[in-house]
Chain A
Amino acid sequence: MNAPVRRSPLAHREPLEAADQLLRLRERPFEAKLILRAHAGDAELALRAVAGLDTPGNCRFLDTDGITAAWLSPDEFLVLGAVGKEHELAESLASALDWRHHQVANVTDYYTTLAFAGPKAREALMKLTTLDMHARSFVQGDARGTVFGHCNAWILQRADDETNGGPSFDLIVRWSHADYLFCALAHAGREWGMPEATPRGGENLLA
């Protein structure tokens, strides 16, 4: 019998880079991901107890000590943590909420994280989404769910535009859409020298 091996959805993909580091795309697999559903007041209580975080405002995220809390909807938050921390995080959130009406779902292996960064990352994302990605309306600390090409994803802006090496974005995408989105991002960056990548499933790439 084979030993169990944890396999990420993009295990077959190498990180991609455009010329002069204008774009950098890689997967950050296995990071802890939890969906916390609770009334906003209760969620605040739990996030404060577990991570010392306030509740993020609408379409925003907050982070500290490797734990990120992103607003998904008025009663739904995405809690992100380091690799292997999901059970510990889930337990502490659940115990902080105790008898309060809530749900903590471990979605670590349901989603994966694509890290997309570089001075041209914003322009490349603009090709894939109808979301207003202009630096004026999407800034560091913003977290939004929208459609990229053919698939849904959550996007978080980690580093702001003044950062050396350009802004950086995390895209939280469903496991089965990850390969498509990876290739779509590579395709969107082709004018800055991103290598071509063809989706395994043969999906048509937009842009």
Chain B
Amino acid sequence: MFVIDCPHCGPRDQAEFAYAGEAHIARPANADELTDAEWAGYVFMRRNGKGLYAERWWHAAGCRKFFNMLRNTATDQIHAVYRIGERPPEVKADLPRTPSGEASIGSGNDAVKLVRDTGAGDA
């Protein structure tokens, strides 16, 4: 359990919040021109990285507003909380050192990763 600082209500327990996916994914303006693969990229493909991650949260039990958060997915440290429509602040997140010398992003076993260009999804 950890405490999340809602931009409207102040610090509250995590139990009051709901996760709402990666932040800053803009709906393509030219939806009718996209291929199915490009549309799937927008709908399904997420960076899901290890380390600093911009995500949306929803204060379900409090003000019922969405907001953005910069969270380190490796350590659960919350670096910044900011409102919808604002730019993410510049922060630096350190990943924990691991004995195996893991790569900073992903599992480290990049050789077996299926790499696919998803087009609009990573915007």
Residues of A within 8 A of B (CB): 58-59, 72-74, 76, 130-132, 144-147, 152
Contact = CB atoms under 8 A, between A and B. Distances in A.
B13 interface: yes
B8 to A, nearest CB: 6
Q: Report the 5 A-B pairs with minimum CB-CB distance, sorted nearest first.
A: A130-B13, A73-B63, A145-B62, A147-B61, A152-B61
Interface of B: 1, 8-13, 15-16, 61-65
Nearest to A147: B61
A130 B1 CA distance: 10
13 contacts: A58-B8, A58-B9, A59-B9, A59-B10, A73-B64, A76-B64, A130-B1, A130-B15, A130-B16, A131-B13, A146-B16, A146-B61, A146-B62
A132 B9 CA distance: 12
Nearest to A71: B63
B8 A73 contact: yes
Contact of A144 (B1, B62, B64): B62
Q: Name which of A72, A74, A130 has the most chain B CB atoms within 10 A of its CB.
A: A130
Nearest to A59: B9
Given A73-B63, A147-B61, A152-B61, 9 more contacts: A72-B64, A73-B8, A76-B64, A131-B12, A131-B13, A144-B9, A144-B62, A146-B12, A146-B16
B33 to A, nearest CB: 33
Contacts of A152: 61
A152 B65 CA distance: 15
B29 to A, nearest CB: 26
A59 B65 CA distance: 14
A142 B15 CA distance: 20
A147 B18 CA distance: 13
Contacts of B16: 130, 146-147
A147 B15 CA distance: 8
B12 to A, nearest CB: 7
Contacts of A144: 9, 62
B18 to A, nearest CB: 12
B61 A73 contact: no
Contacts of B63: 72-74, 76, 145
Contacts of B13: 130-131
Contacts of A59: 9-10
Contacts of B1: 130
A121 B36 CA distance: 58
B22 to A, nearest CB: 24
Contacts of B8: 58, 73-74
B45 to A, nearest CB: 32
Contacts of A76: 63-64
Contacts of A73: 8, 62-65
A73 B83 CA distance: 13
B83 to A, nearest CB: 10
